[in-house]
Amino acid sequence: MTCTFRIHVVLISVLRFRVQSVPASPVTLRKGLTLSPRINRKTYIISSNHPSMEKGLDASPPGSPPVYRRQTSREENVFSRLTSQLASSIPMSTSRKPGKITNYNFPKRGRARLQCTNIVEGHSKAVLALHATDDYLFTASKDRTVVVWDLRGMRESQVFGNFPNSVVAVKYDPQNNLLFSVSSCYIKVWDIRSSKAIRTLNSQGNSTSWSSQSTNFESTNLTINAIALSENSLYTAVCDRVRVWDLRKFSVVGKLLGGHQAAIMCLAVSPTDTGEDVVVTGSKDHYIKIFNVGAEPGLVVTPATLEPPHYDGIQCLALRGETLFSGSRDYVIKKWNLDSHELVTSVNAAHRDWVTDLCCSQ
């Protein structure tokens, strides 16, 4: 059995439906919620050698707000379930059939701006992440594979497997022809020209070549929730902090700390004309933070907070120029101006359930 998914090139919001009935408006659900406590803005040094940062990195991160401490939390004890599987690679099924891209020939729906043109089929379980360029589409799935699709030839091009668990994020660097895929507590870096994995990065900031790497990571490694790419940098979200990697050396050059009171679930990055990166983080603590990261490590950054916050955790961000869109578990989509740090508009009850993904047309 294969899974089918569709791609549209505009601002898209994706929701996750639950079986039980859901009230028409989330207003009544928000009344009993208590916002996470605010913290004072501080100055942080992005440098792995700075003594004040070392002290902060060794300390235990603050706990999530009480409203999120559920007995059935997906983050709890995740490594007790994964560590036993990490010792050996999980091979792809030898009976897998090649995927296909087919035309969608159903009649067009009047003057609708969104029209489905093709259907991509090939994964055996749900697709969790997408990344697209003019030439390629990259899909990551719960079936523990990443598939590369040739959009010009309209065919499946490559399949990358041997992941220990679901692949939750995928990003492509066209400048270096590198593909970054996230599963559990590590990132596999693939060279799509040779179809080989060349590096493994883990959530503790370690990097090894693929030939010498071992997937039997320590249970202290934490799940990587999100990644984002800029020209020479990779940003990885782990718990309530973000690691900054130099892609020229595949080494950690700094961390962004102190911005959130709970796990960071999504990232967005935009380069500036001055050589800085504007890094936007969305967290389970309901808040969105903005960091200005310099071209070299060691520069001082002060996180800014966008107000008002969402009523629940932030699940996705989409950044285009100076405009930011945020989607949340509170069913709301918000539009922000990053120049002024002001809210432009808020679409309440945009969906009847969590808004789990957003993207912008270029």
**Pairwise pLDDT comparison (293 vs 71), residue with the higher score:** 293
Q: pLDDT over 70 for what percent of the chain? A: 67
Pick the residue with more confidence: 48 or 144? 144
167 close to 160: Cβ distance less than 8 angstroms: no
pLDDT at 95: 65
Pinpoint the alpha helices (H) of 238-290.
none
Q: Does residue 247 lie within any of the structural domains?
A: no
Measure the CA dihedral 182/290/8/356, to 10°: 60
- Digit-coded pLDDT (tens) for 247-291: 999 999 988 887 789 999 999 999 888 888 999 999 999 999 999
Instruction: Give yes or no: residues 204 and 298 share one domain.
Output: no
The reported pLDDT for the residue numbered 202 is 92
User: Can you give the pLDDT at residue 72?
Assistant: 41
What pLDDT score was predicted for residue 274? 82
The residue from 222, 249, 273 where one domain ends is 222
How many CB atoms neighbour CB 313 within 10 A? 24
Residue 58 has pLDDT above 90, yes or no: no
Note whether 302 and 339 are same-domain residues: yes
User: pLDDT at residue 59 above 60?
Assistant: no
Residue 62 confidence (pLDDT): 47
355, 362 Cβ separation under 8 angstroms:
no
What are 213-251's pLDDT values in tens digits? 455 544 457 899 999 999 889 999 999 999 999 999 999
Q: Considering all CA atoms of the chain, what is the largest pairwise distance in Å, rounded to the nearest integer?
A: 64
Within-domain flag for 158:
yes
Same domain, 171 and 307: no
Torsional class of 176: left (φ above 0), alpha (ψ -120 to 50), beta (otherwise): alpha
Q: How far apart are CA 189 and CA 208, in angstroms?
A: 10
Q: Is the domain of 107 the same as that of 152?
A: yes
Helices and strands counted in the chain (H then E): 3, 28
Domain boundary (167, 199, 222) is at 222
Q: Is residue 52 part of a domain?
A: yes
Listed residues 194, 222, 250: the one ending a domain = 222
Average pLDDT in the 326-348 region? 95
Q: Is residue 199 part of a domain?
A: yes
Is 239 a member of any domain? no
Mean pLDDT, the chain, rounded, equals 76
Span 291-304, mean pLDDT? 73
How many CA atoms lie less than 13 Å away from 285 in the CB half-sphere?
25
- Residue 355 CB contacts under 8 Å (≥ 6 apart), including other chains: 13, 14, 15, 315, 316, 327, 328, 329, 331, 332, 333
- The answer to whether 315 and 296 have CB atoms below 8 angstroms apart is no
- 87 with 172, same domain: the answer is yes
Task: Name the token pair of 361.
Answer: 């047309």
Q: Average pLDDT of 12-24? A: 42
CA distance 203 to 82: 14
How far is residue 201's CA from residue 218's CA, in Å, rounded to a whole number? 13
80 and 144 part of one domain: yes
Residue 22 has pLDDT above 70, yes or no: no
- Residue 237 included in any domain: no
Task: Indicate the pTM of the whole model.
Answer: 0.71
Query: 């955790």: which residue's tokens?
Result: 313
Residues 146 and 185 in one domain: yes
pLDDT over threshold 60, residue 48: no
- Top pLDDT among 116 and 353 is at 353
Shared domain for 162 and 283, answered yes or no, is no
Winning range, highest mean pLDDT, from 32-46, 83-97, 287-301, 327-341: 327-341
Which residue matches tokens 């079986």?
19
For residues 213 and 101, membership in a common domain is answered with: yes
Q: Is the pLDDT of residue 50 over 70?
A: no
| Exposed/middle/buried for residue 211 (C-beta within 10 Å: 0-12, 13-18, 19+) | exposed
In a domain, 244, yes or no: no
- Residue 315 in any domain: the answer is yes
Distance of CA 80 to the CA centre of its chain: 23
* pLDDT confidence of residue 362: 61
Report residue 29 as tokens: 């659900």
Tell me the pLDDT band of 47, cut-offs 50, 70 and 90. very low
Q: How many domains does the chain have?
A: 2
Q: How confident is the model at residue 89 (pLDDT cuts 50, 70, 90)?
A: very low
Lowest-pLDDT choice from 72-81, 196-205, 209-218: 72-81
What pLDDT band is residue 210 in, cutting at 50, 70 and 90?
Answer: low
CATH of the domain at 177: 2.130.10.10
Kindly tell me if the per-residue pLDDT of 358 is higher than 50.
Answer: yes
In this structure, the answer to whether residues 214 and 98 fall within a common structural domain is: yes
Domain shared by 80 and 186, yes or no = yes
**Confidence at residue 211, expressed as pLDDT on a 0 to 100 scale:** 54
Domain coverage including residue 313: 8-59+262-362
Considering the domain architecture, whether residues 121 and 42 belong to the same structural domain is answered as no
